[in-house]
Structure 1
Amino acid sequence: MKAAVLKSFGSPLVIENAPEPVLGTGEVIVDVVATRVLSYMNEVFDGTRNYALDLPIIPGPGGIGRVRAIGPDATKLGVGDWVFCDPTVRSRDDAVAPDIALQGLTAAGPGGMRLQRHFRHGSFAEQMRLPTENVKPLGAITSEDATQWCALGTLLVPYGGFLAANLRPGETVLVSGATGNFGSAAVSVALAMGAACVVTPGRNETILADLVRRFGPRVKPVKLTGHEDDDREAMKRAAPSPIDCVLDIMPPSVSPTVVRAAVMTVRPYGRVALMGGVGMAGGAGLELPYPWIMRNCISIHGVWMYPPDAASRLIALVRAGLLRLEEYEATAFDLDHANEAVEHAVANGGPFKLTVIRP
């Protein structure tokens, strides 16, 4: 099969013939039809992000495809079914604290690296092998639809944060990082889950205005000034009621003071989900006042990715018409132009932009 292979950090992907995956028990092989390219994939490939990857590897986290072959433990899937390939692979021998690898992207700890050595290769290829539980039925779609459905991979991340924060219909939410790729996805997901209002702080007034244009008056934009106390009060004033839940999904480049300003808008007994990159590139971490957390009974939840059933639940939101994949503007490349796709993703990584490879 044809695949794009990363052989060394800092080198371009090599397009070549690779061995087809071999089916094992508890596994499914999928013909990849479309797969998204992360806007920071170049930083993974050149080593800047220091992701744990045992090279050479076929990269690509998740994708949309059709079932090619199933193992004996699959009782609902059938050959030819349209599916979402969930890249969050979990070890099966510890349900309480499983090791995790993001197939085709990175792994966490020694256990995650062991997972990666088996479920090694991702979706920048004509075929990929996944654990049975990571193959999520989509229902009937067309080959053309597959490009748009790649947005699931972006939307799933903030959805996992809101599930962890137990977001309830009718609540007021603040998304820290609302003008970014994942942050704008968080706005659409929160509204689809029934949030009464989403406060969207940011510096880019054009993007803030676009969020209001897309989603209407339930979005409350706030132009940030960089002054922590002033910004915190502005965010509180923008909310029509006390802020029940804050989701932070800021990138590593952002100052922790910006994140702290947003986090500390939450009401007493409120919930905070941390999914961003504060401190990952070095520098100060997020410092929050102990007395404020304790006396206000604030729940702070660190979240990496999402629970195993999240993809199926998110697909149901799309099927119900509550979450619109049509918000995304997609640009597609074939596998021979995978390196060009990576460059395009870097230059076009804003809100509701999608770069896709169609093997």
Structure 2
Amino acid sequence: MYAITIPEPGGPEALVWDEVPDPVPAEGEVLVEVVASAVNRADLLQRQGLYNPPSGASPYPGLECSGRVAAVGPGVVGWSVGDEVCALLSGGGYAQKVAVPTGQLLPVPAGLDLRSAAALPEVTCTVWSNVFMVAHLRPGETLLVHGGSSGIGTMAIQLAKAVGAKVAVTAGTGEKLDFCAELGADILINYREQDFVEEIEKATGGAGADVILDNMGAKYLDRNVRALAVNGRLAIIGMQGGIKAELNIAALLNKRAAVSATSLRARPLGEKAAIVAAVREHVWPLIESGHVRPVVDRELPMSDAAGAHRVLEESSHIGKVLLVAP
């Protein structure tokens, strides 16, 4: 098969479309013939040599895919050759084939085309596990999403609105904020021109955000704590703004607030399977009913993964960038 390889870390040009051995499904795995994958920020870090795959994972980038089951390994039940699926991966999505543990497989939602399904696994699992399973967002509460126009952000807006929460977002352009509003965002904050702490306080009458989903990390830590409501929950899922910052414990204590930080890729198989099962139970019906949809900015050939990485680095996209396998 062909896959995107990274012979040496570097810029987008480090991604090489090359012939590699076919994967073989192990016990409890299926082989998926990939139709499409999607690009995530973690893929850019892997390309730069800053985020290596977990032990035993595919060395090729790609944390999600959609496709058809091509073969089943020993001990697999409930899945058959030809099934249309999408999957959460530890790596290997930028390839024509990938082996996937069955606990990380999802059926393609009814009414959704197979390619678009590649935009779902990583964002739905990230948002559901952090916003709902960890931070326990409830109806009537306020969720602040940083990077509201990203793949994660566009899904977070829709899921929070679906459960009856109020949603605030930050983004860097009017076009991106307008799109967030179309998805249902109630509070629109241009982080280039506005202080999100002040804007959240104004919009909530001084109460603050009950839950914050943060992709920035260190750069926003102090302001995120200030923007939290009493009993607020800050869920950190990225470090685009750095990895080290001071945490004002007194401020956290005064608000009886909580800070969590999670990642999906290195979790044990059982934890991933539990998240995937929860997504199938709670999110898939919302997609099939039309209340929630994947947001796809563009599709590029998988062999042009370098071009897709440049799009993400420019932050000119809204939603997900897909890579379509030949």
TM-score (normalised: structure 1):
0.74
Distance 2:319 2:130 in 1: 19
Q: Where does the alignment leave 5 or more consecutive residues of structure 1 unmatched?
A: 88-102, 105-121
2:187 corresponds in structure 1 to 220
CA contact (8 A) 1:177 1:248 kept: no
Q: How big is each residue's C-alpha offset from its partner over 1:192-230, in whole Å with a ceiling of 9 and x where there is no partner? A: 3331x1122445344223322x134x5111344788xx6
**Aligned to 2:131, which of 162, 180, 200?**
162
Q: Where does the alignment leave 5 or more consecutive residues of structure 2 unmatched?
A: 265-271
The answer to whether the aligner puts 1:302 opposite 2:264 as a matched pair is: no
**Aligned to 1:339, which of 303, 306, 325?**
306
The answer to whether the aligner puts 1:263 opposite 2:225 as a matched pair is: yes
The answer to whether the aligner puts 1:239 opposite 2:204 as a matched pair is: yes
1:199/1:130 CA distance change after superposition, 3 Å: same
Q: How does 1:120-139 map to 2 (within 5 A)?
A: 122-139=92-109
Residue identity opposite 1:34 in structure 2: A
2:8 corresponds in structure 1 to 8
The answer to whether the aligner puts 1:194 opposite 2:164 as a matched pair is: yes
SS of the residue 2:155 aligns to: helix
- Cα displacement (A) at 1:243: 4.2
1:233/1:336 CA distance change after superposition, 3 Å: closer
**Aligned to 1:78, which of 74, 77, 80?**
80
Distance 2:210 2:128 in 1: 13
Residue identity opposite 2:39 in structure 1: V
Distance 1:316 1:19 in 2: 37
1:94 corresponds in structure 2 to none
1:206/1:239 CA distance change after superposition, 3 Å: farther
- Cα displacement (A) at 1:310: 4.0
**Aligned to 2:297, which of 311, 326, 329?**
329
2:325 corresponds in structure 1 to 358
Q: When the two structures are aligned, how many residues end up with a matched partner?
A: 310
- Cα displacement (A) at 1:9: 1.5
1:272 corresponds in structure 2 to 234
TM-align CA RMSD: 3.1
SS of the residue 2:176 aligns to: helix
2:51 corresponds in structure 1 to 51
- Cα displacement (A) at 1:128: 0.8
SS of the residue 1:156 aligns to: helix
**Aligned to 2:245, which of 281, 285, 291?**
285
Q: Percent sequence identity over matched residues? A: 25
CA contact (8 A) 1:34 1:64 kept: yes
SS of the residue 2:114 aligns to: helix
Larger radius of gyration: 1
SS of the residue 1:190 aligns to: helix
Distance 2:102 2:317 in 1: 33
Distance 2:97 2:307 in 1: 21
SS of the residue 2:126 aligns to: helix
The answer to whether the aligner puts 1:149 opposite 2:151 as a matched pair is: no
- Cα displacement (A) at 1:328: 2.6
CA contact (8 A) 2:119 2:320 kept: no
1:128/1:298 CA distance change after superposition, 3 Å: same
1:70/1:352 CA distance change after superposition, 3 Å: same
TM-score (normalised: structure 2):
0.81
